[in-house]
Structure 1
Amino acid sequence: MHNAVAENVLGTAGTIFWCVQLVPQIIRNYKVKNCEGLPPIMMFLWAASGVPFSIYFFGTDGSIPLKIQPQLFTLFCLITWGQSIYYPPYNVPRRRMVLFLIAFGIIAVALEVGLILWLRPVHRHGTHWPMLIVGIVASILLAIGLIPPYFELAKRKGRVVGINFIFLAMDSAGALLSMLSVVFGTMDIMSMVLYAIVLGLEVGIFASHLGWYLLGGKRILKEEKEAQKLETELDDKIDKIDDIEEDSRETDVVSVA
């Protein structure tokens, strides 16, 4: 049943989520300065998927939100990809990381401008299959990007490490809302399949961590928290001892003088 209002509201909400979902992940990476468990290939594939998505929505004369979304998505994916290779465990030098990002940006802009100028007139004249292929490529890249995290889960017996759950929840919400917008609007099988795959893989990541937590993860987290507390207390004591020794040396220097 077609409902234009529901389609637009749900579609807009889904687009908003898919514009900014990576912001919590970027903030988390910056705070902890460590990206262990966050596969760089995931962020690279997502950034790469933004290029054909942009070509598709510009080439098919999509709405303004649909044209903006891939640009923001690609930008945030690039930032996250840069963090994932710059911070441990990969520790790529900053200069090389920046060169990678610049090279990706130049290639992406060249592809978008060239293919949009070439394929948009073709699409407007009624030949739709080239744009369909571009859309399929974008969808495949996006879906494949969610497979590498499962290798990380396998390494840690199902535990999620390095992936921010707020980011994951926002991305899942974007997929769900976008799927509902298709249900209420014009049924697009390709879009439905894409949203269902993304949502299914992300729910699988949540389920994996929940299973790990219920099967002993709660105890492990408690032990890690206690160990971190003891380490902090030990560091504080060492700092106090260092301060006392420093004061003592200063006092001795003054006495000698």
Structure 2
Amino acid sequence: MQPNKTVENALATVGGILWTVQAFPQIYKSFRTKSTKGVSAHLMLIWALSALFFMVYTITRPLSVPSIIQVHFSFVVFTTSWVQCLHYTYGYSIKKALSYGGVWTLVCIGFEVGSIFGLWAAQKHGTEIPMSVYGYMSSVASVIGLLPQYYEIYRLREVLGLSYSFIFTDIVGALFYILSLFFRPTLDYSAMVIYVLTAGMMVIIIILALILNPRAAKRRRLEGDQTTIETTTSPETKKGAGMDHIAAASSEKIEVHLDGSDTDSEPGSGPSTPTGMEAHHDVPILGYSGNETPHEEPVMDHIAEAAKKV
């Protein structure tokens, strides 16, 4: 394509606007739900680092003004999302999380200013390699930053926590940036690499969401049904088990009565023994023999007293 500065700036402006607002849905979602579960804090920190390298690159190259403004704004947004992860995921207090974010921002500002003046000095001596290194470092950091997010997806077995508005806006913004590069006098391969990789890896996340999220929803539905079944049947099972226990105890008691092993003997069966076995009357009981009756001695005494009176 023929170089056209106006078209380049127009396309880059659209891409810059999209990438400027891309993380707002993510920040808003995390704030609204008070949770960053499924969002990798390492992703946000490494992408902020990637933006830092690209901030230096866009100024020293220089790229279009919208690209310069956008990448600085992206740094702020990714740092903000990282602070949210510190607070919601890792339990840092708001004050502590903001302190970490502030220190990180100050260090990055110092790094950017020093790098810009250093690269400008290298340019004056005809050295362009350090500038290209910054561009490729931004690309490498952008790719590495998504690896922790892929691990979160693998661990949770679904795409959770990420805002789909954030993902789609990121992809469309990258496409506009890619188109703007074709209207430059020379194609900037470092910028092309970072835009293509960012869009491609975001597309992979969408594909993973289409595959894994329906499976995760089905898995939760089955687990919920199983929990409902256990909750419903558990009281009946316990009641049935109690009735079986009572029936078994009643049956055992009836069997004891039938075989005479219970301590309550039938009338006329004679005294029972401690073992519950049938008594033997030829064994002396209470100190008298089997030929005597318990009332024999008192009757004879009564007859003798009556004869004396006569």
Same fold at TM > 0.5 = yes
Residue 180 of structure 1 corresponds to which residue in structure 2? 179
Instruction: Give the 3-state SS of the residue equivalent to 2:146 in structure 1.
Output: coil
Residue 16 of structure 1 corresponds to which residue in structure 2? 17
Superposition pairs of residues 137-176 of structure 1, within 5 angstroms: 137-157=137-157, 159-176=158-175
Q: Output the aligned Cα RMSD.
A: 2.3
Contact kept? 1:58, 1:120, Cα under 8 Å: no
Instruction: Give the 3-state SS of the residue equivalent to 1:161 in structure 2.
Output: coil
In 1, the alpha carbon distance for the partners of 2:32 and 2:216 equals 28
Residue identity matched to 2:198 = V
**Residues 16/67 of structure 1: CA separation in 2 closer, same or farther (3 Å cut):** same
Deviation at 1:112, TM superposition (A): 1.1
In 2, the alpha carbon distance for the partners of 1:3 and 1:117 equals 29
Residue 193 of structure 2 corresponds to which residue in structure 1? 193
Residue identity matched to 2:73 = L
Instruction: Give the 3-state SS of the residue equivalent to 1:145 in structure 2.
Output: helix
Residue identity matched to 1:14 = G
Deviation at 1:217, TM superposition (A): 3.0
Contact kept? 1:86, 1:92, Cα under 8 Å: yes
Residues 98-126 of structure 1: per-residue CA shift (max 9 Å, x gap): 22111111111111111212222322453
Superposition pairs of residues 56-135 of structure 1, within 5 angstroms: 56-87=57-88, 89-135=89-135
Superposition pairs of residues 224-235 of structure 1, within 5 angstroms: none
**Residues 30/154 of structure 1: CA separation in 2 closer, same or farther (3 Å cut):** same
Residues 152-200 of structure 1: per-residue CA shift (max 9 Å, x gap): 111222x211100001111111112212222454423332222221111
Contact kept? 1:178, 1:195, Cα under 8 Å: yes
**Residues 214/34 of structure 1: CA separation in 2 closer, same or farther (3 Å cut):** closer
Residue 245 of structure 1 corresponds to which residue in structure 2? none
Residue 239 of structure 1 corresponds to which residue in structure 2? none
TM-score, reference length from structure 1: 0.78
In 1, the alpha carbon distance for the partners of 2:212 and 2:23 equals 24
**Residues 100/213 of structure 1: CA separation in 2 closer, same or farther (3 Å cut):** closer
- Number of residue-to-residue matches in the alignment: 223
Compare CA radii of gyration and give the structure with the larger one: 2
In 2, the alpha carbon distance for the partners of 1:182 and 1:61 equals 13
**Residues 223/164 of structure 1: CA separation in 2 closer, same or farther (3 Å cut):** farther
**Residues 6/30 of structure 1: CA separation in 2 closer, same or farther (3 Å cut):** same
Residue identity matched to 2:20 = C
Contact kept? 2:12, 2:67, Cα under 8 Å: no
Instruction: Give the 3-state SS of the residue equivalent to 1:147 in structure 2.
Output: helix
In 1, the alpha carbon distance for the partners of 2:25 and 2:216 equals 27
Residue 241 of structure 1 corresponds to which residue in structure 2? none
In 2, the alpha carbon distance for the partners of 1:75 and 1:33 equals 20
**Residues 156/169 of structure 1: CA separation in 2 closer, same or farther (3 Å cut):** same
Residue identity matched to 2:162 = I
Aligned sequence identity (%): 31
In 1, the alpha carbon distance for the partners of 2:100 and 2:116 equals 24
* Worse-superposed segment, 127-136 or 207-216: 207-216
In 2, the alpha carbon distance for the partners of 1:119 and 1:221 equals 57
TM-score, reference length from structure 2: 0.66
In 2, the alpha carbon distance for the partners of 1:110 and 1:47 equals 15
Residue identity matched to 1:67 = I
Residue identity matched to 1:136 = Y
Deviation at 1:10, TM superposition (A): 2.1
* Worse-superposed segment, 178-187 or 69-78: 178-187
Superposition pairs of residues 48-63 of structure 1, within 5 angstroms: 48-63=49-64
User: Which runs of 5 or more structure 1 residues have no equivalent in the other structure?
Assistant: 228-257
Deviation at 1:57, TM superposition (A): 1.7
Greater helix content: 1
